[in-house]
Amino acid sequence: MASKLKALNDWVDDVARLTRPDSIRWCDGSDAEAAALRAEMLADGTLMELNQDTHPGCTLHRSHPSDVARVEHLTLVCSKNEDDAGPNNHWMDPAAAHAKIDALFEGCMQGRTMYVIPYCMGPIDSPISRCGVEITDSPYVVANMRIMTRMGAPALARIEREGTFVKGLHSIGELDPERRYIMHFPEELTIKSYGSGYGGNALLGKKCHALRIGSWQARQEGWLAEHMLIVGIENPQGETHYIAAAFPSACGKTNLAMLIPPEGYRKAGWKVWTVGDDICWMRPGKDGRLYAINPEAGYFGVAPGTSRSTNPTAMETIARDTIFTNVAVTADNQPWWEGLPHGAPATDWQGRPFDAKNGPAAHPNSRFTVSAKQCPSWSPHAEDKHGVPISAIVFGGRRPSLVPLVFEAHDWTHGVLIGAAMGSETTAAATGAVGVLRRDSMAMKPFCGYNYGDYFAHWLSFDKPDAKLPKIFHVNWFRKGDDGKFLWPGYGENLRVLEWIIDRCKGAVGAHETPIGYVPREGDLHVEGLAIDERALDTLLAVDPMGWASEVADIGHYLESFGTRTPEKLKAEQRRVAAALANAGAPARKVAAG
């Protein structure tokens, strides 16, 4: 099978001449192809079959011990102008980058099969979706791309119809960390990745296309490609409001996407629908609202910490037909990782007999790849070609003090400032100093394919007279009391905060106006049945003008770090909030609903 599109065939021929594979296989995405590929990988040890009685259809892959995570310092944005990449990216001149990586690709597929994977990010018939083709020498990548994208003949038909696609060239090479690069050429809609077989470095539809190249495409075409979950909250009246939410890592993104309502809410008729757990593409609809799709078709989730107590929905999702990567294995061949209450590891993630002296049994970044349609809370509207309408955008971070449980931006510009300023404080789990604030604007720091200053300007550009934009909020599940314990229980109880957010969007509940935004008034948050005292709730919703004055001054310095590319409108908003905090001696003003 080859393509009717000359540009695609020519590119495949060029790559074949460069890499010199033994054979070329065009992937059609069929069940027969997937079964044959699985059998080949089981035969050669690329995959290992897990306990088919407890985990039917599940397999294990062990990656090279030096190839277990994204490598941000080797991830480059190769725009023609270095300022277009910005200080938030590592940059290399495009001509020099092509020459450097093409020298590595020279003859690298000798003795291997070259797979050509046409794929679509998003529902195959959605005008918001975009297509790409990944060429790879890794059958593991093919198997994962089949789960994570709409891959095969339908995608190829769309590519041939449209005539454009993102080019992704990948080889595992020698898996040598000294010969490893992930390069992005935004103006050329091209990705080149060499020397890694791991997830985001090798599944080029994911972070490389859907975020780094996708964010560039979105800016050119007038939409947003964001590192956000999409969740639908259905109330007892049958109304569903969709929320897009961005959090840095270790802030409970997947748990929120698959949230299970507290018992009282479930009995009252509340339901939660999962549209996406990681990436969100939004564009304005004819009615002025933002409509979102999940460009991915599966979940590439972190296993450690996932359990029936933290995320029972995820555990149900991965009970069958899942590829596990770098987890441990029990004596009876079941997958195991830290955080599971039952079972014990017999073999660690490297295939060695488990010994605690060697470190965790499962790699801390071990993963599962699974179809989104297996999720019990998967939304029937996840495949809607025009997307779901977004009522609210939520930003969040891990902040043990200062930042309230929830607050609402005064308007869109203020909301963009809140998103630009978001971040998390480091914990003992990370190397380096504890309690250091690391800003991660819109949770896009490793993924924005161009200068953050231009990215902020792009966000601001959506505020047009005919726009009906979502309200913007910030949440913080991680505020602590004087005893160092979390004040908010989190997990399913976070629905109580989402209920207030939705009621604010509907104009059904009031708020206190503060210099940093609107916060719930006493009695606005439903806390019935929740073991939390009034003092804790007061602390959770408190706004400290002195502390915030220091925070907002720091935000000003952060915005200046992007130089002249930072929009003046955003700097003016920062100054407005700073002035409001300086005048914050007066008591907070109550705002009526509506």
Query: What is the per-residue pLDDT across 366-406, written as a single tens digit (0 to 9) for each?
Result: 999 999 999 999 999 999 999 999 999 999 999 999 999 99
Burial 401-435 (b: 16+ CB within 10 A, else e): ebbbbbbbbbebbbbbbbbbbbbbbeeeeeeeeee
Q: What is the pLDDT of residue 430?
A: 46
Compute the distance between CA of residue 321 and CA of residue 49 in angstroms, rounded to an integer: 11
Q: pLDDT class for 69, splitting at 50, 70, 90?
A: confident
Averaged pLDDT, 62-66 = 94
Q: pLDDT class for 436, splitting at 50, 70, 90?
A: confident
Q: Is 249 annotated as a binding residue?
A: yes
Query: What is the per-residue pLDDT across 221-259, written as a single tens digit (0 to 9) for each?
Result: 999 999 999 999 999 999 999 999 999 877 889 999 999
Q: Is 494 annotated as a binding residue?
A: yes
Tell me the one-letter amino acid at 395. F
Q: pLDDT class for 588, splitting at 50, 70, 90?
A: very low
Q: Is 294 annotated as a binding residue?
A: no
Averaged pLDDT, 59-85 = 94
Closest alpha carbon to 502 in 249, 291, 234: 234
Averaged pLDDT, 518-525 = 95
Q: What is the pLDDT of residue 592?
A: 57
Q: pLDDT class for 483, splitting at 50, 70, 90?
A: very high
CB 501 within 8 A of CB 431: no
Query: What is the per-residue pLDDT across 525-577, written as a single tens digit (0 to 9) for each?
Result: 999 999 898 899 999 999 999 999 999 999 999 999 999 999 999 999 999 99
Q: Is 199 annotated as a binding residue?
A: yes
Position 586 pLDDT exceeds 80: no
Between CA 267 and CA 273, with CA 268 as vertex, the angle to 5 degrees is: 85
Q: Alpha carbon 485 to chain centroid distance? A: 28
Averaged pLDDT, 158-179 = 96
Q: Is 424 annotated as a binding residue?
A: no
The three-state secondary structure class of 45 is coil
Among 89-103, 424-438, 486-500, 530-544, the range scoring the smallest mean pLDDT is 424-438
Averaged pLDDT, 118-135 = 98
Q: What is the pLDDT of residue 425?
A: 85
Q: What is the pLDDT of residue 590?
A: 55
437, 439, 440, 441 alpha-carbon torsion, rounded to 10° = 150
Q: Is 255 annotated as a binding residue?
A: yes
Active site residues: 251
- Percentage of the chain exceeding pLDDT 90: 92
Compute the distance between CA of residue 452 and CA of residue 561 in angstroms, rounded to an integer: 10
Q: Is 365 annotated as a binding residue?
A: yes
Domains plus CATH for the chain? Answer: 6-47+72-222 (3.40.449.10), 226-296+382-587 (3.90.228.20), 298-374 (2.170.8.10)
Average pLDDT, whole number, for the chain? 95
Better-predicted residue by pLDDT, 378 or 587: 378
